[in-house]
Amino acid sequence: MSEHDKPSRIAGKCLALSVMLAAFASTGASAQVTIDVAKVSCDQFALYKVSDPDTIAVWLHGYYSGKRGNTVVEVGELKANGKKLRDYCLQHPDANLLEAVEELMKP
């Protein structure tokens, strides 16, 4: 190997190492978070303290639809119910989220 090839080989190794370190560092940023929805308060839900309220509202819709054996999703209704739940939770921040859903589902 000539003296002229050494700098380009070193640069190539540094670049490869940099790419590997960047890939390794970025994998840690996507750690999963587990939420026990039964313990979430309205305050935590409505004020984004545990996750995006829309994400939790979609999960809640699926949970309660599954309990009722309902496989149909009305997207407009889902969005409206999510807004109703957020509004209710803003007015009742100390309420348990699942109890709030049960309250809103009453006829």
pLDDT tens digit string along 41-95? Answer: 999 999 999 999 999 999 999 999 999 999 999 999 999 999 999 999 999 999 9
List the structure tokens of 52: 């995006």
76 and 93 belong to one structural domain: yes
List the structure tokens of 30: 């996507």
Number of residues that make up the chain: 107
**What span, in angstroms and rounded, lies between the C-alpha atoms of 15 and 20?**
9
pLDDT of 62 reads 95
57 and 94 belong to one structural domain: yes
57 and 80 belong to one structural domain: yes
73 and 96 belong to one structural domain: yes
The CATH number of whichever domain residue 89 belongs to comes to 1.10.890
Average pLDDT over residues 22-26: 45
43 and 90 belong to one structural domain: yes
4 and 44 belong to one structural domain: no
pLDDT tens digit string along 12-21? Answer: 454 444 444 4
pLDDT of 43 reads 97
8 and 56 belong to one structural domain: no
**What span, in angstroms and rounded, lies between the C-alpha atoms of 2 and 6?**
7
pLDDT of 8 reads 55
73 and 97 belong to one structural domain: yes
Indicate if the pLDDT at residue 99 is higher than 90.
Answer: yes
16 and 60 belong to one structural domain: no
pLDDT of 107 reads 82
List the structure tokens of 20: 């590997």
Q: Tell me which residue range forms the domain holding 84.
A: 37-105
**What span, in angstroms and rounded, lies between the C-alpha atoms of 61 and 72?**
10
96 and 66 belong to one structural domain: yes
Question: How many domains would you assign to the chain?
Answer: 2
Indicate if the pLDDT at residue 2 is higher than 70.
Answer: no
